[in-house]
Amino acid sequence: MDTWKRFGEKEVSHSMAHYLQAVAALKVEKGHARVGDIADHLGVSKSGVTSMLRSLERHGLVTHERYGCVELTSTGAGLATRTESSRRVLTVFLTEILGVPETVATEDACMIEHLVSTEVSVELLRLTAFLRSQHPAAKQFRDAYRASPHACAAHAPGALGALGAPGAADACGVCADTCLHESLLGDVAQIAVRR
Amino acid sequence: MDTWKRFGEKEVSHSMAHYLQAVAALKVEKGHARVGDIADHLGVSKSGVTSMLRSLERHGLVTHERYGCVELTSTGAGLATRTESSRRVLTVFLTEILGVPETVATEDACMIEHLVSTEVSVELLRLTAFLRSQHPAAKQFRDAYRASPHACAAHAPGALGALGAPGAADACGVCADTCLHESLLGDVAQIAVRR
DNA sequence: TGCCGTAGTTAAGCTACCTTAACTCTCTTA
DNA sequence: TAAGAGAGTTAAGGTAGCTTAACTACGGCA
Close Cβ partners of B34 (under 8 Å, ≥ 6 residues apart): B69, B70
User: Which is nearest to A22 in space by CA: A86, A74, A84, A64?
Assistant: A84
How far CA A189 is from CA of A60, A70, A173, B75, B125, in Å, comes to 42, 43, 29, 8, 21
* CA of residue A192 to C1' of nucleotide C25, angstroms: 32
Record the pTM: 0.87
Our CA-based measurement puts residue B158 at a distance from the nearest CA of chain A, in whole angstroms, of 5
Residues 32-51 of A with CB under 7 A from strand C: 34-37, 46-47, 49-51
Sign of the dihedral defined by the CA atoms of residues B169, B175, B177, B183, in that order: negative
Q: Say if the Cβ atoms of B173 and A129 lie within 8 Å.
A: yes
CB A24 within 8 A of CB A84: yes
Tell whether A145 is within 8 A of chain B (Cβ).
Answer: yes
Q: Which 81-110 residues of chain B touch chain A by CB within 8 A?
A: 81-82, 84-86, 88-89, 92, 94, 97-101, 104-108, 110
Q: Read out DSSP for A103-167?
A: HHHHHHHHHHTTTS-HHHHHHHHHHHHHHHSS-HHHHHHHHHHHHS-SS-GGGSSS-----SSTT
Close Cβ partners of B83 (under 8 Å, ≥ 6 residues apart): B12, B17, B20, B21, B113, B114
* CA of residue B49 to C1' of nucleotide D8, angstroms: 10
CB A110 within 8 A of CB B117: no
User: Which is nearest to B18 in space by CA: B110, B108, B86, B88?
Assistant: B110
What's the distance, CA B98 to chain centroid? 14
- Per DSSP, which regions of A53-122 are E strands? 62-64, 70-72
Tell me the residue type at B46.
Answer: K
Tell whether B179 is within 8 A of chain A (Cβ).
Answer: no
Q: What is the pLDDT of residue B24?
A: 97
Rounded to whole angstroms, how far apart are CA atoms A102 and A137? 26
List the pLDDT tens digit at each of the 195 positions of chain B.
689 999 999 999 999 999 999 999 999 999 999 999 999 999 999 999 999 999 999 999 999 999 999 999 999 999 999 999 999 999 999 999 999 999 999 999 999 999 999 999 999 999 999 999 999 999 999 999 988 876 554 444 443 333 333 333 345 667 766 777 877 776 554 444 443
Q: What is the pLDDT of residue B179?
A: 74
Q: Which residues of A touch B94 (CB under 8 A)?
A: 120
Nucleic strand C within 7 A of Cβ B164: no
Q: What are phi and psi of B137, to 5 degrees?
A: -65, -30
Query: Exposed, middle or buried by CB within 10 Å (0-12, 13-18, 19+), for A136?
Result: exposed
What's the distance, CA A54 to chain centroid? 26
Rounded to whole angstroms, how far apart are CA atoms A179 and B84? 12
CB B34 within 8 A of CB B65: no
Which of A49, A120, A148, A179 is most worth mutating to test chain B (most B CB atoms within 10 A of its CB)? Answer: A120
Residues of chain A under the 70 pLDDT cut: 1, 150-173, 176-177, 186-195
Rounded to whole angstroms, how far apart are CA atoms A89 and A91? 5
CB B160 within 8 A of CB A138: no
